[in-house]
Structure 1
Amino acid sequence: MATISSLGVGSNLDLSSLLTQLQTAESQPLVALEAKAKSYTSKLSAYGTLQSALGVLQSAAQKLSDPALFKTVTGTPTVSGILSASSTDPSSAGNYTINVSQLAQAQSAITAGQVSTTTAIGSGTITIDFGTITGGTLNTTTGQYSGAGFTQDTTRTAKPITIDGTNNTLAGIRDAINAADAGVTASIVNDGSGAPNRLVLVSTQTGEASSMRITVDGDAALQNLLGNDPAGTQNLQQTAAAQNAKLNVNGIAITSGSNTVKEAIQGTTLTLVGTGNTGLSMKANTTSVSTAINDFVKAYNSLQSTASSLTAYDADTQTGAALMGDTTLRNLQTRIRQALTTPQAGGPDDMKVLTEIGVGFQKDGTLSVDSTKLDKALSTNLEGVSKLFASATGSTAGYGKQLDALVTDLTKSGGTLKAATDGITTTIKELDEQYDAMQARVDATVDRYRKQFNQLDVLISSMNSTMSYLTQQFEAMNASTK
């Protein structure tokens, strides 16, 4: 059958406009589906915003749920440049007088000079032990001991280092020692003499028990270079002796193999950086606790603000926000408020409600903080504030732990918010499938109309042609008759 490339040309009818109108009419269900999908998409986005606000609240609750937050003690020395202090034990609070007379130090020793760093020296096995040099006399000029003993630290296992044809130069020995991770770092220093290259060995640990004893099993040249026993033959020159840190805390003498001194004051770590006398004031760090509580209140109020915006009604446009009247959001708010208003269990003298530290609900549903009351609670009963929010592992006590668990319950798989979100996601998917199916039906219907209009166009065009032919014939016959 003949076709018309442009509808209406053959029939001289406005079939194209008529087809467009029919297509618009047939597409009305699609418009409704689009509007419905848009509504659900907005709701899904709103739930995402809500979950984000819940995440901020949960992070603030988690911080308060950790008992360590309430145990931080800050140390402030009266003289700078001697030490710093930190503690996680509130019982360490107090004032101390400390004298640091000696810092811990690692042993350092050097070999005899070598002309070249790339000339072969000898092969064998190097074994480095660590221990304490006892007794004897140190010649400060030669850096060697006489009459000394060596007590090995049996808790440290020596690692044999193999020196062969692949690494028997001064540079190769340096690299082999460093690669062995044997508790010693090696480097080469050039002293500018005729045989300037000297291997420098430094213990990686400080303290008297980290003095080195180096045994060489191999060529004499390698033994003469590195063999070093403080109680016997010594081929190295000691440039720095291994020594302990020495300090006095409130009249009590203390030694430490490291400049990081732990438990000299209970629960406290002292980091020594210099020698001298200083006072040390240890005070509970209530500032960080106050900040955490205020951040929690801000996070809760931000959640309330988010909820208000998601449920608002615009009287001018007479439209409601995505979650206006939403039961999921309303139930979520109710559960969180109930959790914060339910008193904590405890003894008769324990804090049980937030108002005891100056945190309370206002008429609009938000929380406020009475800073004066909070500061007083922190300064007079930090342990009580701690129990109000935190508890040991295995316990569910404390507002911090309970809010953390509640948000997890709401957002986990099968939780209220997650279930609502999943339901909407499923609905949107179904609407998309309905839209695709409806679009296919509309396209098929419009295509049928188009074919029918095309047939009509062809038919009318044909009839017009026939009419024109007959008219011409009749006119010709009339003319002939005349």
Structure 2
Amino acid sequence: MATSSINTATTSGSSTLSTDVYNRVQKTMSAQNGAATKLNAALKADQTKLSGLGQLKSALSAFQTLAGSLSGGGLSTSASVSSKSVLTASSSGAAKAGTYALDIKQLAQGQFLTSDAFAAADSKLGSGALSTVKIDFGTADSKGFTLNGSTASKSITIDSSNNTLAGIAAALKAAGVDAQVVKDEDGKYALALNGASGAANSMRISVSGDAALKSLLSFDPDGTQKLKQGAAASDAVLTVNGKQLTSASNTLDKAIAGLTLKLTGTGKTDVTVTQDASQIGSNLKSFVSAYNELNKKLQALQKGDLKGDTALNQTLSQFSTLIKSGGGVSQSALAAAGLGQDSNGNLVLDDKKLQAALTSDAGALSKLFTNDGRGLADLLAAQAGSLSGDSSALKRETTLVSKEITSITAKRSSLSKALTAQATALAALYTAQAQTGSGSAINGSSGSAGTLFDMLG
């Protein structure tokens, strides 16, 4: 009898099954695919939604930071840098005039991992058995691996539908992990994972299920490392006027109050902050650009990962209402200063009207946007904070979806164990029947103790 090379358990201790037995097991087990398919679909949908909610929170946070930093004298300050190869600085907040000495000792970077190389990106890897790739995030140092409490672990399902380099990369991307297939100088393909920057974003990767995938993807900073690490996750390290700071990102908005610093290299530089009324126009344009970036992201999420989502719809509605009403800020004054809105909900700024308003009364113009919490930028910053805060619909949905993912993952694990046990029993039964020439395993035969499913309990 011909044999199959697919590894599975048998009662004889052999590592292979006959093709006939394997096909019979596969045919009988195919009826069980529905439950697994539903769980996989539910998990993928929840992972997609969680990723979308994370993108929404990130977009709101970025806009809140810029809009909130326009408070006080932030509209009229400017910043210059003595060494632009080290960093750039923009003033969008209440930075105090003066000179700040900075020394950039180390840039933040993300962990970079690569797999073994293969001849093709679409070649099947392993048997295609249902497998789970779990990625934990934390800090890897001499003390061991410490989980990052603010970043939830991710679980990615790999089976016969996506057990290729390209399929694994796509599944990782869908779960919010930056992964891609790269081609080396020898023309071979490998999986590459780029972690988020910051020492607390190191990855620990474990695999349950297919042994081939475990051998390909496992990475434990304290143990087995099948993936190769090209770069370790690290924080940016710098001093500001002699005080040392660390940051998971190379963009810092709290190192100097009211300034946004973007680190580009290591070395020393001075940042000088001055009061400059002409900066008002430039910062208003940055504010409009930031709002439009937020609106673009909201529109994309509405058409994609968060279509019909309550938290997103609430965000769109509240921002739209605030922009159209002005929130107590004179609409006619805003229009006279050149601020309007197009049909897509984007803010538009008429430069001629803006310059005229600046020439006429720069102080009055500034108060339209920042005025002890009552300006348009103040109100929008507060709205962004409220929509992403601890009592927001966004927070509640994120918590709920995270719990659902945990529950589904547990159910998938239980189902996987049950199906494995059933397949093992089927293989043993069919192998025994093949050796004795007994009757049908599914329907039973005369004199049998019952059907297959009676035997399985």
**TM-score interval for Structure 1 and Structure 2 normalised by the shorter chain:** 0.3 to 0.5
TM-score (normalizing by structure 2): 0.47
TM-score (normalizing by structure 1): 0.44
CA radius of gyration, larger in: 1
